[in-house]
Structure 1
Amino acid sequence: MTLAPQHNYWGHTSPPGIPTVYSLTDSGSIRVLWALEELVGQNALESYNLKAFERSNTTKKAPEAMKEGFRLGKAPILTVSPAATPDEPPTPFVEGRLILQFLADHYAKGIWDSLSPEDQARNIFFQEFAGTTISTLTSLTLTMDMIPEATPWPFKPLVKLLFVPLLSVFKETLVEPFKLLEDTLSDEKPWFGGSRLGLADFCMIFPLDTCVARRYFDAGKYPNIIRWHKTVHELPAYQRAVKKMGGYNDSKI
C-alpha cells in the first residue's frame, strides 16, 4: 500500500518562500485572500501568487484544474516551497483555519498576536466556533435555501412548499449563536480576536458574509455584528481580496 505524503506540515529547515493560493469564486477562499492582503498591506509579506478559478455555471463545482494544488481540489489551497530552494515541489496546506495558522506562524511577524491571555483564549475559541457551529448551521440553512432555487420549474412550487418551512426552522437555529456573537463584541473588544484583528475574524467572515447577503438574521437586533461586518468590508485589504477573487456575493453566495 502506498502511503499519502504528509500535508500541512512544514518539515524544512529553510523558512517558506512566496506562497501560492488557489482561490475559487464565491467560496471560503475569501478568508485566506483577506489574510494575505493584510500581510502584504502591512509589509509582513512581500507578495504571493494567485491562481483564481471560477465555479461551473451549471454544477457550481470547482474545476478539475484545482487538483493541481491538492488532490481533493477544494478551495482554499495554499502551496509553498522553501525560500532557499524555490524549485522544490511545494507543500500543500488545506483547510482554511489551518492555512491561516500557517500564515500566522511563518509570515505574520506577530501582527495578529493577542494582546492578553484573555484575548488569546477568546481568539482560539471563536476560530473553532466559526468553523464548527456557525459554519455548520449556515451551510445547512443555505442548503435549505438553495434546493428550491435549483429545482426545475414544474417541480419548484411543490419543493418550495416543502422547504420554505424548513428554511425557517434552520434560520431559528442561528438565533442563539448570533446572540452569543452579538454579546461578545463591544467598543473595548470590537474584534472576535479581542482588542485587535485576529485569526478568529478571518475564520468568521465567510459564514457571516453568507448570512448577511442572504438575510438569515434580523440585522436590527445585532448592531455589534453589523458594525463588525461593516468595518471588515471597509478594510482596503478585504476589498482587494474580493476583487482578486473575481466573484463574491454577486449572486448572494
Structure 2
Amino acid sequence: MTSVPQHNYWGYTSPPGTPTVYSLTNSGSIRVLWALEELVGQSVLESYNLKSFERSKTTHAAPEAMKEGFRLGKSPTLTVSPANAPDEPPTSFAEGRLILQFLADYYAKGLWDSETPQDRARDIFFQEFAGTTVSTLTSLTLTMDVIPEATPWPLKPLLKLLFVPLMSVFKGKLVEPFEFLEDTLSDEKPWFGGSKLGLADFCMIFPLDTCVARKYFDAAKYPKVNRWLKTVHELPAYQRAVKKMGEYNGVKA
C-alpha cells in the first residue's frame, strides 16, 4: 500500500518559508490570493510564489498539472518548505479555509486576530457559514443555471424547461442567508469578522462574488452586504489578487 504524505500539518519547529500557491482561474483561490496580498501589502510577508492554471475550454476542469501541489488537484493549494531548509520536500495545504488558518497562524503576526472574544466567535461562525450554507446554495444554484447553457442544441430547450425552475428554487433559498448577512453587518461591525477584517471575510468573498456575477444577489435589497462588497472590491490587495488570478467570474483581468 502506498503511503500518503502528511498534509495540512506543519511538523517543523522552524517557521515556514516562502509559500507557493496553486491557483485556478475562476475559482475559490481568490480567497487565498487576497489574503496573501494583504500580508504582502502590510509588510508581514515579503513575497509568495504563484503557479496559475487555466481551466479546460471544453470541460472547465483543472489540468493534471494541478496535482503537482496536491494529489487531488484542488484549487487553491499551498505548498511550503521550512525557511531554513528550502530544499526540503514541501508540505501541502488544501481547502481554502484551512489554508487561511495556516496563514493566520504562521504568517499574519496577529493582523487578523479578533479584538474581542465575541468577535472571535463571530469570525469562526461566519467562516463556517460561508463555506457551507452560502457556498453550498450558490453552487447548487449555479449548477442548475449552467447545465442548460452548456448543452448543445437540440437538447438545450428541453433542459431549460427542466433546470430553470430548479435554479429558481435554489436561488430562492439564498434569500434567508442574504437577509441574515444583512442583519449581521453594522457601522460598529462592518466586517463578517467583526470590527476588523477577519478570516470570515476572505471566506465569504468567493460565494458572494459569484452571486453578484450570476445576478443571484439584489444589491438594492441588501445595502449593507453591498457596501461590504464595495469596500472589499476597492481594496488594493483584492484588486491585485483578481489581476493575478487572470480570469475571475468569466472576466479576464
Q: Does 1:234 align with 2:224?
A: no
Match of 1:32 in 2: 32
Question: What one-letter code is carried by the residue in structure 2 that aligns with 1:237?
Answer: A
Correspondence for 2:58: 58
Which SS does the other structure have where 2:92 is aligned? strand
Report the alpha carbon displacement of residue 251 of structure 1 after superposing the two structures with TM. Answer: 5.0
Q: Tell me which residue corresponds to 1:201.
A: 201
- The separation in 1 between residues aligned to 2:11 and 2:117, in whole angstroms, is 29
Shift of 1:209: 0.3
Assess if the C-alpha contact under 8 Å between 1:21 and 1:77 holds in 2: yes
- In structure 2, the partner of 1:221 is 221
1:148–1:163 Cα contact (<8 Å) kept: yes
- Give the drift of 1:21: 0.3
Once residues 218 and 7 of structure 1 are traced to their aligned partners in structure 2, the CA distance between those partners, rounded to angstroms, is: 40
Q: Percent identity?
A: 83
Whether the 8 Å contact between 1:24 and 1:245 is mirrored in structure 2 is yes
The CA distance in 2 between the partners of 1:45 and 1:179, in whole Å, is 36
Secondary structure in structure 1 of the residue aligned to 2:247: coil
* Aligned partner letter, 2:107: Y
Q: Could you list the per-position Cα deviations for residues 142-198 of structure 1 after superposition, in whole angstroms to 9, with x for gaps in the alignment?
A: 000000100102111111111111111001111111111000011110000000000
Query: What is the Cα deviation at residue 18 of structure 1?
Result: 0.3
- Quick one: which amino acid aligns to residue 2 of structure 2? T
Cα distance between partner residues in 2 of 1:16 and 1:103: 10
Q: Normalization by structure 2: what TM-score?
A: 0.98
* Residue identity in the other structure for 2:54: E
Give me the whole-angstrom Cα distance separating, in 2, the residues matched to 1:245 and 1:33.
8
Counterpart Cα distance in 2 of 1:217 and 1:126: 18
User: How far is the alpha carbon of 1:114 from its aligned partner?
Assistant: 0.3
Q: Per-residue displacement from partner, 1:206-251 (whole Å, max 9, x unpaired)?
A: 0000001111132211001100001100000000000001100235
What 5-or-longer segments of structure 1 have no aligned partner?
A: none
Q: Which residue of 2 aligns with 1:13?
A: 13
* Matches for 1:64-213 after TM superposition, within 5 Å: 64-213=64-213
Q: Is the 8 A contact 1:171 1:217 kept in 2?
A: no
Secondary structure in 1 matching 2:17: coil
Supply the distance in 2 between the matched residues of 1:245 and 1:217 (Cα, whole angstroms). 23
Matching of residue 47 in structure 1 with residue 47 in structure 2: yes
TM-superposed CA distance for 1:3, in Å, is: 3.0
Task: Flag as ranges the 4+ runs of structure 1 deviating above 4 A.
Answer: none
Distance of 1:141 and 1:38 partners within structure 2? 31
What is the CA–CA distance in structure 1 between the aligned matches of 2:75 and 2:99, rounded to whole Å?
11
CA RMSD of aligned residues (A): 1.0
- 1:116 positional shift: 0.5
Q: Secondary structure at the match of 1:220?
A: coil
- Give the match's secondary structure for 1:228: helix
Deviation at 1:2, TM superposition (A): 3.1
Using the alignment, how far apart are the partners of 2:250 and 2:149 within structure 1?
A: 16
Name the CA distance, whole Å, in 2 between partners of 1:38 and 1:211: 24
Which amino acid letter does the alignment assign opposite residue 189 of structure 2? Answer: K
